[in-house]
Amino acid sequence: MVERLRPYALHLYLLAYAPAMLAADGVLRDLGPQLALGVVTFVVLWLCTRYLEPGEASQVWICVAVATGFEIFGSLIWGVYRYRLGNVPLYVPPGHGMVYLFGLTAGRLPVFRRHGRRAAHVVLAACVAYTVLGLTALPAVTGRIDVQGALCLPILAACILFTRRYALFAAIFLAVVDLELAGTWARDWYWLPVAPWSGVPSGNPPSAIAGGYCIIDGTVLLALAALAPLRRRLRRPAGEPAPAGVRP
C-alpha cells in the first residue's frame, strides 16, 4: 500500500498542508502568526520547487506573481471575497504557487499515465455534480444559490476536454476545492452572497471557481513566452554572439 502511494507523496502532502495551515490561521486569528504562516509557506514552496525542472519552477513562481495581482483585484478592489483581517494574507501568494505546482506535476502521476484523459473526465464529472448541487440541493442548507460557480464551469470544462494540459486543470480543481472548503470553514475568508458590480449570487465557496486558474495559467504561459528572450540572454556566456536573427 505504501509503495503504491509513494508516487503521490508530494500531492498528498500539499493536500494536507493547506487545510492544516488554514486551520492554524483560523485558530490564531492575528496578523503576527499569519505573517509567520506566510513565511513558512514560502519556504515550503521553495523546497518543493527545488525538485522541479527549471522551466516548471519558473512557471510556479510566475504564477505566484500573477495570482497575487488577481488577489489584489478580486479581494481588495472588486471585493467578491474578503479575508478576515481585510488584507491579502502573506500565505496566499505561495498558496497559489502550491496549487499550480499540484496541477503542473499531476500529469506524471500513475493515475494520469494509465488512464490519461479518462481520469480527468472523472474529475470533471465530480465538478459538474458539485456545481449542480450548488444550484439545487445545497441552497437549502447554505442559504445560497451558487450561480458564480456555475458560470466558471464552462471554461474549466473546456480546458479539461480540449487542451493538452487536462491533467493540470483536473488536479487544480481538486486542490482548489481542498483549500477553499478549509479556508471558508476556518473563516479565514468568505465569499459575498452577491458579487459586487455583477450582482451574481455566489456560494461560499463557489463550486467551479478553479476555472479562474484557466485564466491564470494562460497569463503564466504568456509571461513565460515574453520572458524567454531575456532568459536566453542571461544563460548565454559572456562574449558569445547572439544567434543569427536575434537582436543582442
Residue 51's closest CA among 19, 91, 93, 14?
14
**Domain spans in the chain, listed from the N-terminal domain onward:** 2-225
Q: How far is it, in rounded angstroms, from Cα 220 to Cα 68?
A: 12
pLDDT in tens, 29-54: 999 999 999 999 999 999 999 989 88
What is the rounded average pLDDT of the residues 152-156? 98
Per-residue pLDDT, 59: 96
Bridge partners for 94 per DSSP: none
What are the φ/ψ torsions at residue 201 (nearest 5 degrees)?
-65, 145
Q: How far is it, in rounded angstroms, from Cα 155 to Cα 215?
A: 9
Report residue 237's pLDDT band, with 50, 70 and 90 as the boundaries: low
As given in the structure block, the three cell numbers for residue 235 are: 544563460
Contact between residue 87 and residue 32 where contact means Cβ atoms under 8 Å apart: no
Sequential DSSP letters for 49-91: HTTS-HHHHHHHHHHHHHHHHHHIIIIIII-SEEETTSS--TT
Residues 6+ apart with CB under 8 A from 191: 80, 81, 148, 184, 202, 203, 204, 205, 206
Q: Cα 127–162–215 angle (5° rounding)?
A: 70
Against a cut of 0.95, is the pTM above it? Answer: no
Residue 176's closest CA among 64, 68, 94, 98?
98
Per-residue pLDDT, 4: 83
pLDDT in tens, 104-135: 999 999 999 999 999 999 999 999 999 999 99
Residue 124's closest CA among 174, 79, 78, 90?
174
H/E stretch holding 191 reads strand 189-191
247 SS3 class: coil
